[in-house]
Structure 1
Amino acid sequence: MSETAVYAAGGVVWRLVEGKLKVLVIHRTAYADVTLPKGKVDPGETLAETAVREIFEETGIGVHLGVPVGVSRYVLPSKRTKIVHYWAAHASDDAIRASRFVPNKEIAALEWLSPKKARARLSYPVDIEILENFLELVDDGVLHTFPVVVLRHAKALSRSDWDGEDALRPLTSRGAAQARAVAGPLRAFGVRRIVASDAVRCVATVTPLAAAIGKPVHRTPAISQDAWEEGTSDVRGVVGRRVRAGKPAVLCSHGPVIPDILRELALATGTLRGSYLDAAADLVVGAFSVVHLSASNPGSGIVTIETHEPSA
């Protein structure tokens, strides 16, 4: 991130009403405008966490992030550039019923509109561009999606500093901080299933997430580095189960194994292979790639992949 820019994040929040698509716009009190929910990044926060938090703060609706739908850039009166990242975000009926929104000094009203009316009502061209990006996905039939997150374990003690079995190498203090930090953005993508190599460093990486969402860590040697080096891994089996399940999940594994996981995700979804897979697999420790798949037809191919660096 540039030190001179102002970063923010938000979303195109959507729902279906009697089978018809509606998107949420907010009427801001102070600016007397109509825009998409968004807000500035708090210190120590990732863009994904910001998007979920700001949507909730401005609308009272808890969401999980779907497909990224673009980045807007514009110059503020201070001459600094503001950069806003947006994701699609489905508002479930339960989340809408749970909203405690009331008009306040920042947000005067919320309004669910058809895409056509939202396009006409939005005050800023940059918001209209983001909405158009979202509608392209709708036209492509990928409104409902789910993520399979591929996570490289956090920083572990080096082999030269460890006398025991490689699978027992623990995280360093920096690695433990990365593990705590990654729990937030993974929650932002709605991860509910946690699958990890049975190596200590992988299990420890996802333990804070497991505690945060109240779900167990499913440990497996099938995506471990030891099994991969021995030729006994079963990456295809693990990936296939996650694609068939159609539920948000994270697979925590090792640097040498991750390219195979991405390749198997492409094969399982009928996606053409390309250099984008290499880029998504080239993860530093504590980083992850989110592979977005169509919930109704995962075999139609990977919708998009986004990669997030560790914040600790």
Structure 2
Amino acid sequence: MISQSSAQATSSKWTDKAVYAAGAVVWRLIDGKLRILLIHRTKYKDITLPKGKVDPGEMLAETAVREVHEETGIRVSLGVPVGVSRYHLPSSKQKVVHYWAAEATVDAIRASTFVPNKEIAALEWVSVKKARSRLSYPVDLEILDFFANLVDDGVLRTFPIIALRHAKALSRSDWDGADAARPLTDRGRDQAKSIVGPLRAFGVRKIITSDAVRCVQTVKPLAKALGRKVVMTEKISQDAWEDGHDDLRSVIGRRVRAVKPAVICSHGPVLPGLLTEIALATGTIRGSYVNSAADLEPAAFSVVHVSASNPGSGIIAIETHVPKI
């Protein structure tokens, strides 16, 4: 099963036409039984899923984790996307809400800072069946149905392998040195900073990059924010790819075996090979989705969701995020 989605940062062009928001179906296991989190809103006297509007400059993934934390006190990392709801506001503008599945770990729940407040009166953990009768809005039920399908397919718990294209670099015509030494432009450095939040939203813990300067500079802000070391390798560099000495397979194979959230930063020409190797390493039938996920603008990234319990069962979903800088 492969589902594809695309999510981008907000801009004035977006908000002229619609109001964008993001949230999550937050879940946990209690005594081996699946429970999802519903919020009781004070002002509207309704029961819904945690969500909220995108702040200026945010990308949707970081909005989702921020809103979940603000409304429930629980810090989560995003899993598989579970749909988009659309409905019209009293102002006649359309509201578009992107949702992800998100597991609430025991530690995250223990660290929750929630207390009833003027926005959220209560939190309630319920079964999927009970949620169907509790939720106030049909659009929430559609999201719940998609989530329930993941549960039925046994692919709820996943981990991401994120293919990231380096940010905007100085052009070859403006650079006299070795191609691998080309640095980011000012815009590229801003792009690198802008993707820290959305990459953190997916729980990234491992950072692997081509040893080219433009790739290393792209992941440097993320590494600093996470307090993690960057693993640099020539195996996924453009120079090695052009010379036929790349080794994408070993890099991807190791990430699939590790079953841990990781970002891999490389180059435009190399990305189709990286995505192909992820497909092969997970036993996924190759298709046009590989080229779509690999066709990235500078600093854009595709999140490939893989089953944590059975990585060889195939890619579960792919989503692409594009910074608007």
Q: TM-score range by the shorter chain?
A: over 0.9
1:67 aligned partner: 80
Contact 1:196/1:223, CA 8 A, preserved across alignment? yes
**What's the % identity of the aligned pairs?**
72
Structure 1 residue 120: Cα displacement: 0.7
User: CA contact under 8 A between 1:194 and 1:210: conserved in structure 2?
Assistant: yes
Give the counterpart of 2:160 among 140, 144, 147: 147
Q: Does 1:278 align with 2:285?
A: no
The 5 A counterparts of 1:148-163 are 148-163=161-176
The answer to whether 1:49 aligns with 2:62 is: yes
Q: What are the superposed Cα offsets for residues 62-82 of structure 1, whole Å, 9 maximum, x if unpaired?
A: 000000000000000000000
Q: How does 1:18-37 map to 2 (within 5 A)?
A: 18-37=31-50
Q: Tell me which amino acid in the other structure corresponds to 1:81.
A: Q
Are 1:135 and 2:174 matched, yes or no?
Answer: no
Instruction: Pick from 300, 303, 319 the counterpart of residue 290 of structure 1.
Output: 303
Alignment partner for residue 242 of structure 1, among 255, 261, 284? 255
Shift of 1:311: 2.8
What are the equivalent positions in structure 2 for 1:53-132 lying under 5 Å apart?
53-132=66-145
Cα deviations by residue, 1:218-239 (Å, 9 ceiling, x for unpaired): 0000000000001111000000
When the two structures are aligned, how many residues end up with a matched partner? 312
> How far, CA to CA, are the matches of 1:276 and 1:216 in structure 2?
31
Equivalent residue, structure 2, for 1:267? 280
Separation in 1, partners of 2:263, 2:15:
29
Counterpart code for 2:69: F
The DSSP-based 3-state class of the residue aligned with 1:65 is coil
2:314 is aligned to: 301
C-alpha separation in 2, matches of 1:304 and 1:28: 31
Q: Which runs of 5+ in 2 are unaligned?
A: 1-13
Instruction: Find the aligned partners of 1:31 and 1:229 in 2 and give their Cα distance.
Output: 59
Q: 201, 204, 212: which one pairs with 1:188?
A: 201
Residues in 2 aligned to 1:100 and 1:300: alpha-carbon distance in whole angstroms: 37
Residue 213 (structure 2) aligned to one of 181, 200, 219: 200
Deviation at 1:143, TM superposition (A): 1.1
Is the partner of 2:39 in helix, strand or coil? strand
**1:252 correspondence with 2:265:** yes
Q: Deviation of residue 2 (structure 1)? A: 5.5
Report if aligned partners of 1:182, 1:311 keep a CA contact under 8 Å in 2.
Answer: no
Residues 70 and 133 in structure 1, CA contact (< 8 A), matched pair in contact too = yes
CA deviations 1:155-181 (Å, max 9, x no partner) are 000000000000000000000000000
Moved over 3 A (4+): none
Distance 1:174 1:284 in 2: 13
Task: Return the offset for 1:3.
Answer: 2.5
Long gaps (5+) in structure 1 = none
For 2:250 and 2:17, locate their aligned partners in 1 and report how far apart those are by CA, in whole Å. 46
Rounded to whole Å, the distance in 1 between the matches of 2:237 and 2:197 is 24
Cα distance in 1, alignment partners of residues 151 and 105 from structure 2: 17
Supply the AA of the counterpart residue of 2:117: N
Question: What is the Cα-based RMSD across aligned positions, in Å?
Answer: 0.6
| Paired residues of 1:152 and 1:253 also in contact (CA < 8 A) | yes
Contact residue 39 and residue 48 of structure 2 kept, 8 A: yes
Letter in 1 for 2:272: P
CA separation in 2, counterparts of 1:3 and 1:136? Answer: 34
SS of 2:306's partner is: strand
Q: Secondary structure at the match of 2:309?
A: coil
What corresponds to 2:4 in structure 1?
Answer: none
In the TM superposition, what is the alpha-carbon distance from 1:118 to its structure 2 partner?
0.7
TM-score, normalising length from structure 1?
Answer: 0.99
In 2, distance between residues paired with 1:168 and 1:277? Answer: 29
With CA pairs under 8 Å and 6+ residues apart, which has the higher RCO, 1 or 2? Answer: 2
Counterpart in the other structure of 2:234: 221
Number of the residue aligned with 1:11:
24
| Structure 1 residue 310 displacement after superposition | 1.6
Letter in 2 for 1:121: R
Q: Are the equivalent residues in 1 in contact too, given 2:59–2:323 (CA < 8 A)?
A: no
Q: Name the aligned partner's letter for residue 276 of structure 1.
A: Y
